[in-house]
Amino acid sequence: MAFQITKAVIPAAGLGTRFLPATKAMPKEMLPVVDKPAIQYVVEEAVAAGLKDVLMITGRNKSALENHFDRVGELEAALERKGDTVRLQKVNYSTELAEVHYLRQGDPLGLGHAVLRARMHVGNQPFAVLLGDDLIDERDPLLTRMLQVQAERNASVIALLEVDPSQAHLYGIATVEAADARTAGDDDVVRITGLVEKPAEGTQLSNLAIIGRYVLRPEIFDILDRTEPGKGGEIQLTDALETLAADPSIAGGVYGVIFRGRRYDTGDRLDYIKAIVQLAVERRDLGPDLRPWLKQFSSTLD
Ligand code: UTP
């Protein structure tokens, strides 16, 4: 039976070491992408897909995240006094966006461990997991597509991106086979036959990398509970998904949706800078001034 999925889990308890010292006192999910913290894009995406119940798994420095989705009386009053309704709306928007719950991970033992912490909140129903590192352009609604595939197949669904083979060691990599087509537009769906977290450089498994969107059946929790620490000594969600994929009789196996839309990686410093530039040039308020400046600036580069 297909469930109406309502819950999104956003793990935000990683140490964010690639962004030190910016992340010394602030979660990396709060880093601004143009003028919004990365986490707000992700919550907006969940809400746009119909998931208003959001559980954030937090670590140290969680107060910045909580404050961002809460009222700030002093700021609201100051903007009201100035009659600055545009900025007041921006402030209130994130407060009213979703029903946000928070849970501490405890020790950052890995993404799989963070997801396992959501068990009590999620209960016995499928749910979505969204990572703040990956921003998906709102014009390319990946999560909505994944929810649709989950409902059609009653299985777990992960998002895949075709990457250059030289980059494969930076991702979880999937091996796949053709999936039986259910509807006419199903050519983006594959069945997962194997998953490896960050394979050794030069290993040629496939060019399909896992990106940070998942729609999971609750059976994943039992598997995560039994999953031993893997790569980097962390409990890896990829390893639990590998177990789930290996035996479709447990919970329908795992399918992949190959994403061909616009995705911005904000977990890596260089890609983070590229993401800001790409998003800013398209903004109506910034693009017209930024584009000519960028062109002129790039002409000064060797
Ligand atoms: P990353 O692998 O990017 O790790 O986590 P990280 O610690 O956040 O960043 P770096 O590599 O040190 O710079 C992927 C996602 O999983 C979450 C992170 O918050 C991020 O959204 N995560 C990771 C947790 O919630 N808990 C963990 O124990 C590990």
Say yes or no: 219 and 188 in one domain. Answer: yes
What would the two tokens of residue 69 be? 């989705």
Say yes or no: 19 and 69 in one domain. Answer: yes
- In the reported structure, the alpha carbon of residue 61 is separated from the centroid of ligand 1 by a whole-number distance in angstroms of 14
Residue nearest to atom 16 of ligand 1 (CA): 111
Between CA 247 and CA 230 the distance in angstroms is 20
Do 251 and 219 contact (CB within 8 A), yes or no? yes
Say yes or no: 69 and 144 in one domain. Answer: yes
Q: Is 38 exposed, middle or buried (0-12, 13-18, 19+ CB in 10 A)?
A: buried
Between CA 69 and CA 35 the distance in angstroms is 15
CB-ligand 1 contact for 209 (6 Å cutoff)? no
CATH number of the domain at 221, please. 3.90.550.10
Say yes or no: 225 and 300 in one domain. Answer: no
| Residues β-bridged to residue 177 | 191
Say yes or no: 48 and 178 in one domain. Answer: yes
Q: Which residues of 141-151 are buried (b: 16+ CB within 10 A; e: fewer)?
A: bbbebbbbbbb
Say yes or no: 173 and 210 in one domain. Answer: yes
Residue 280: CB atoms within 10 A of its CB come to: 18
Residue nearest to atom 22 of ligand 1 (CA): 14
Do 195 and 241 contact (CB within 8 A), yes or no? yes
Task: Please list the pLDDT of the chain residue by residue as tens digits (302 residues).
Answer: 456 899 999 999 998 999 999 999 999 999 999 999 999 999 999 999 999 999 999 998 788 999 999 888 888 899 999 999 998 888 888 888 889 999 999 999 999 999 999 999 999 999 999 998 899 999 999 999 999 999 999 999 999 999 998 889 989 999 998 888 777 778 899 999 999 989 888 888 899 999 999 999 999 999 999 999 999 999 999 999 999 999 888 889 999 999 999 999 898 999 999 999 999 999 999 999 999 999 999 999 98
Q: What does the pLDDT read at residue 133?
A: 86
CB-ligand 1 contact for 198 (6 Å cutoff)? no
Between CA 188 and CA 7 the distance in angstroms is 24
pLDDT tens-digit profile of 103-121?
999 999 999 999 999 999 9
Residue 301: CB atoms within 10 A of its CB come to: 5
CB-ligand 1 contact for 31 (6 Å cutoff)? no
Q: Specify the number of domains making up the chain.
A: 2
Supply the range of the domain harboring residue 64.
7-267
- In the reported structure, the alpha carbon of residue 24 is separated from the centroid of ligand 1 by a whole-number distance in angstroms of 14
Q: What does the pLDDT read at residue 203?
A: 83
CB-ligand 1 contact for 27 (6 Å cutoff)? no
CB-ligand 1 contact for 42 (6 Å cutoff)? no
Q: What does the pLDDT read at residue 132?
A: 87
Say yes or no: 67 and 93 in one domain. Answer: yes
- In the reported structure, the alpha carbon of residue 176 is separated from the centroid of ligand 1 by a whole-number distance in angstroms of 26
Between CA 197 and CA 178 the distance in angstroms is 22
- In the reported structure, the alpha carbon of residue 13 is separated from the centroid of ligand 1 by a whole-number distance in angstroms of 6
- Ligand 1 pocket mutation pick from 18, 133, 227 by most atoms within 8 angstroms of CB: 133
Residue 2 lies in a domain: no
- Closest approach atom of ligand 1 to CA 27: 19
CB-ligand 1 contact for 118 (6 Å cutoff)? no
- Closest approach atom of ligand 1 to CA 13: 25
Omega within 30 of 0 (cis) for the link into 126: no
- In the reported structure, the alpha carbon of residue 14 is separated from the centroid of ligand 1 by a whole-number distance in angstroms of 3
pLDDT tens-digit profile of 256-281?
999 999 999 898 999 999 999 999 99
Say yes or no: 289 and 177 in one domain. Answer: no
Residue 220: CB atoms within 10 A of its CB come to: 29
- In the reported structure, the alpha carbon of residue 184 is separated from the centroid of ligand 1 by a whole-number distance in angstroms of 37
Residue 58 lies in a domain: yes
CB-ligand 1 contact for 141 (6 Å cutoff)? no
Q: What does the pLDDT read at residue 2?
A: 54
CB-ligand 1 contact for 172 (6 Å cutoff)? no
End-to-end CA distance of the chain, in Å?
Answer: 59
Say yes or no: 302 and 219 in one domain. Answer: no
CB-ligand 1 contact for 30 (6 Å cutoff)? no
Residue 239's Cβ-side half-sphere holds a number of Cα atoms within 13 Å equal to 19
Do 258 and 252 contact (CB within 8 A), yes or no? no
- Closest by Cα among 300, 165, 166, 158 to 242: 158
In degrees, to the nearest 5, what angle opens at C-alpha 14 toward C-alphas 11 and 20?
140
- Closest by Cα among 248, 245, 251 to 124: 251
Do 172 and 210 contact (CB within 8 A), yes or no? yes
